[in-house]
Amino acid sequence: MQQTSTPVIGMIVPPAAGLVPADGTRLYPGLPFIASGLGLGSVTPEGYDAVIESVVDHARRLKEQGAAVVSLMGTSLSFYRGAAFNTALTEAMRESTGLPCTTMSTAVLKGLRALGVRRVALATAYIDDVNERLAAFLAEEGLAPAGCRSLGITGVDAMARVDTDTLVDLCVRAAEAAPDSDGILLSCGGLLTLDAIPEVERRLGMPVVSSSPAGFWDAVRLAGCEVQAAPGYGRLSGVH
């Protein structure tokens, strides 16, 4: 459908600074994104508990700033209490704003399903408790988590300092730990993964779904933007 203007895509992000993640301008240059920061203190269940009740307020704030859709861009924030909570949180955002809303957990599910991945090797930034909650969430959603390798990071700002070589190695180790997997989930929206994704897919011959790129892919689709992602960032970015 031809649109007279490009819808503004609103994003609730964990860091207090409230900046649009850098992946957005690389994947979808020219699209209008705005963000509101939660001020997450740590990537732990205790950290999530401290901010989760403010998510709906941030969604309303983004609507007031002109957002046409809203995404909660924090994977573990939306899966840590399970599948039913992710659904309920999305609905609460929608009811409060009257806008289409989504979460990064929903985005990675859509991405895995779009690529035909059912048995998932997990490569994450998280501590063990969060990894266990991720595996339980995926199982609730009908997927089969098959092994996990993680970095054990709890610092919000530390995520963006993980380099591409470390991320590639993490994915390779996750795949080796789950030799019967048919895809990899590289989970944590704070990781900068765009350069790692194509290298892992080339090396292992299997698809990689990564949190932040999947979040942008999902939000752009939800907004009805008929825009292709920039090429070269993995299989999911080529799915329309």
The helix (H) or strand (E) run that includes residue 161 is: none
- Find, among 193, 172, 109, the residue nearest to 145 by Cα: 109
Report yes or no on 2 lying in a domain: no
| 62 and 141 assigned to the same domain | no
C-alpha neighbours within 13 Å on the C-beta side of residue 233: 24
| 95 and 119 assigned to the same domain | no
Report yes or no on 202 lying in a domain: yes
CATH, residue 46: 3.40.50.12500
Domain count, the chain: 2
DSSP 28: S
| 193 and 160 assigned to the same domain | yes
Query: What is the pLDDT, as a whole number, of residue 226?
Result: 85
Q: Which residue stretches of the chain have pLDDT < 50?
A: 1-4
| 205 and 123 assigned to the same domain | yes
3 state SS of 14 = coil
User: Could you give the CA distance from residue 75 to residue 125 in angstroms, rounded to a whole number?
Assistant: 11
Q: Is the pTM above the cut of 0.85?
A: yes
Report yes or no on 3 lying in a domain: no
| 73 and 19 assigned to the same domain | yes
Range of the structural domain that residue 126 is part of: 107-210
| 37 and 73 assigned to the same domain | yes
| 195 and 217 assigned to the same domain | no
| 53 and 136 assigned to the same domain | no
| 89 and 53 assigned to the same domain | yes
Report yes or no on 47 lying in a domain: yes
| 183 and 226 assigned to the same domain | no
| 195 and 219 assigned to the same domain | no
Mean pLDDT of the chain, nearest integer: 96
CA angle in degrees (0–180, nearest 5) for 121-193-197 = 60
| 131 and 204 assigned to the same domain | yes
Q: What is the pLDDT of residues 81-110, one digit of tens each?
A: 999 999 999 999 999 999 999 999 999 999
